[in-house]
Structure 1
């Protein structure tokens, strides 16, 4: 629009009725959301971009791509933008991303979010897991001081699968046998006293020392004091990894012994289980995404849609 036409439009705004002003604001909302998303993406980049195909840092500007600067690599000739190679590449309706992330911060369901934003429920589902695919990797690198570790078990679910490797059961359902079996997903949660939390889906049935070496050892500081229950796998793991280890024997009724307890991680288990119940069952293959989502919400660690967007983008190809 030419400047004279824009000035004429601004002068006519006071003449609009209340209903017309509401319609104008509703019409401008997608464009404003689109500009906010582009600004958040550009602001999240902390280092010069490199080509996602050949990792060359020599490139030049080559037009715009849906509001984002596009570049062409001088080495291989490929074009790319700040979203190339990220989980959010090729997603449409960018003007609604921040509104959708706001609904995710309120833990809305797929259908409720789709209805509020005016998109299809499959689009809402796809967006949820694209955003969580990067956010779930935003975990602390190390747990220091006193770190508690314990497991949470959920009945495995093949929700949404077209083929099942077992007989179908009613929603919820129960395992065939009592106790912890291979029908349960094991979620390992480690949490230090400062609130830093790491969670992993280790597999089915009880956790083993091999799984603890694979998942838990890389995030533990060498000088950490690991506090667990009396599970034999933790004692074996701590001895092999040469870590300081203390445990409480829950079977004998011992829950607290001075600073030795697993109350913090058990409290996190309770919050996680209560939060998951609102989704009426989560497929086992998507559990890592939901663990990252819960960690983002815990203690309002991610409190704004813009921060959620930066976490979803993850590490740029820089």
Structure 2
């Protein structure tokens, strides 16, 4: 629209009724959302590398669905800032930031879909696309005093077309008492500064090889590892040459000076309470929910813009 026609259109705005103004704002919503999205992605950020050949210094090459398009000088392929990310080819971009705002409020799939007016299947797809890279935004090392403990959840194959066990009612219980292969083990390690690393180790109790695979890479050499009296931790610390202290929870020992696991157990409690609002999640998606909780814990990610950059793999910008 040229400037003269736009000025004429603007002069007619006061003549609109309340209902017409509401329809106008509703029609402008996706466009305004796309402007916010473009600003969150491209402002104060250099041009991205080519996702095909990783060459730098591309040049601008027009627009593609509201986003700046680039052309690689080396391979001549065109791309945008979303190319090569889990967000590539997702539609309704103007609603993404509103949806991420609902994720910061930990809304359910259906509640978020209703709030931003998309289908529930779209809401589910968006949730896990946004978390696919964001779940990797974790601390590289734990230092000082690090507590480690396991959290067990009943294994769920929700959404699977074929089960490798008899079906059970929602909210069911294990067929055996205690920890068994019917439970999924989540290993959580947390230092006294609040830095947290978690991983899904598999079914059943944690083993020493699993501790070497999941826990050892994130521990500093001079760390003091504090755990319960599980034999796997003692064997792991001895083999890895890491200082280790334990508390005997079965004997009623909770705290011995600075030696306790209350910090990590409090994180377990917060995760259980937060996860309960979703009425059961499939075990295969647990890493996504762990990353989501870590983003929300302590308001680490407090804005949709920051959440969007994390979903694109931009953790430190």
Same fold (TM over 0.5): yes
Aligned to 2:39: 39
Aligned to 1:202: 201
The answer to whether 1:85 aligns with 2:84 is yes
Q: TM-score, normalised by structure 1?
A: 0.95
Per-residue CA deviation, residues 228-277 of structure 1 (Å, 9 max, x unaligned), is 11111111111111111111110110000111101010011011011111
Aligned to 2:223: 224
> Is contact 1:44–1:310 with CA below 8 Å preserved after alignment?
no
- Of 58-67 and 31-40, more deviation after overlay is shown by 58-67
For residue 12 of structure 2, give the secondary structure of its aligned residue in structure 1.
helix
Aligned to 1:157: 156
Q: Which runs of 4 or more aligned residues in structure 1 lie more than 3 Å from their structure 2 counterparts after TM superposition?
A: none
Aligned to 1:303: 302
- Partners of 1:302 and 1:281 lie apart in 2 by 24
Q: TM-score, normalised by structure 2?
A: 0.96
Matches within 5 A, 1:230-249: 230-249=229-248
Matches within 5 A, 1:129-168: 129-168=128-167
Aligned to 1:113: 112
1:87 Cα shift?
Answer: 1.0
For residue 257 of structure 1, give the secondary structure of its aligned residue in structure 2.
coil
Aligned to 2:262: 263
Q: What stretches of structure 2 of length at least 5 have no aligned partner?
A: none
> Is contact 1:58–1:75 with CA below 8 Å preserved after alignment?
no
- Partners of 2:57 and 2:47 lie apart in 1 by 10
Per-residue CA deviation, residues 81-115 of structure 1 (Å, 9 max, x unaligned), is 11111111111100000111111111111111111
The answer to whether 1:284 aligns with 2:283 is yes
> Is contact 2:47–2:58 with CA below 8 Å preserved after alignment?
no
Aligned to 2:171: 172
> Is contact 2:47–2:57 with CA below 8 Å preserved after alignment?
no
Per-residue CA deviation, residues 58-96 of structure 1 (Å, 9 max, x unaligned), is 533222111222122232222211111111111110000
For residue 251 of structure 1, give the secondary structure of its aligned residue in structure 2.
coil
- Partners of 2:203 and 2:58 lie apart in 1 by 47
- Of 58-67 and 221-230, more deviation after overlay is shown by 58-67
- Partners of 1:29 and 1:48 lie apart in 2 by 27
> Is contact 2:82–2:88 with CA below 8 Å preserved after alignment?
yes
Q: What stretches of structure 1 of length at least 5 have no aligned partner?
A: none
For residue 261 of structure 1, give the secondary structure of its aligned residue in structure 2.
coil
- Partners of 1:95 and 1:71 lie apart in 2 by 21
For residue 99 of structure 2, give the secondary structure of its aligned residue in structure 1.
helix
> Is contact 2:154–2:184 with CA below 8 Å preserved after alignment?
yes
For residue 274 of structure 1, give the secondary structure of its aligned residue in structure 2.
helix
1:289 Cα shift?
Answer: 0.1
Per-residue CA deviation, residues 152-171 of structure 1 (Å, 9 max, x unaligned), is 00010000001111111111
1:48 Cα shift?
Answer: 4.3
RMSD over aligned Cα atoms = 1.4
1:315 Cα shift?
Answer: 4.0
- Partners of 1:52 and 1:305 lie apart in 2 by 25
- Partners of 1:177 and 1:39 lie apart in 2 by 54
Change (3 A) 1:7 1:78: same
> Is contact 1:149–1:227 with CA below 8 Å preserved after alignment?
yes
The answer to whether 1:54 aligns with 2:53 is yes
* Relative contact order, higher structure (CA 8 A, sep 6+): 1
- Partners of 1:86 and 1:44 lie apart in 2 by 19
